Amino acid sequence: MAFLLPALSWSHSRSPGDRVSDASLGPSPGQVIWDGLPAHRSRLVQHWVAGQRARLELERLPAYAPELNPVEYLWGYWKQHELTNFCPKNFAELSDHARRALRRMRRRSALVRSFWQQAQLL
């Protein structure tokens, strides 16, 4: 089963599926864990999810429960360990540094797994 974090940004896509390909889901259904972001409840997303029922398992987090969302732990680690004392000259420098930090974190599977464990989802 593949896990897709709620941080998939669909604001720059024509449809939610532009970011989720057959390769990212693999042969078994993917599981999407969503918080209560209004964009996740939009008609566009609801329509797309309805067409993916056999390929996706959808789990919604309760409202106001950031402790259950692994992405919240990722952001906390990112701010406290990767961006601490970083003072960019402009937005482009911040963006570049932040993206490189997230790529480094992605390669650390034990770290990523710890976010899921803290949220008690593993």
The conformation of residue 51, written as its DSSP 8-state character, comes to: T
Q: Are residues 37 and 55 in the same domain?
A: yes
**Residue among 68, 75, 67 at smallest CA distance from 105:** 75
**Residue among 120, 114, 113 at smallest CA distance from 3:** 113
Q: Are residues 7 and 31 in the same domain?
A: yes
Return the half-sphere exposure (C-beta side, CA atoms, 13 A cut-off) of residue 26: 8
pLDDT of 119 reads 86
Number of structural domains in the chain: 2
Q: Which domain holds residue 89?
A: 66-118
pLDDT tens, position by position, 64-99: 788 888 888 998 998 899 888 889 999 999 999 989
Which domain-ending residue is among 44, 60, 76? 60
pLDDT tens, position by position, 14-67: 455 555 554 455 566 777 777 777 887 888 888 888 888 778 888 887 777 888
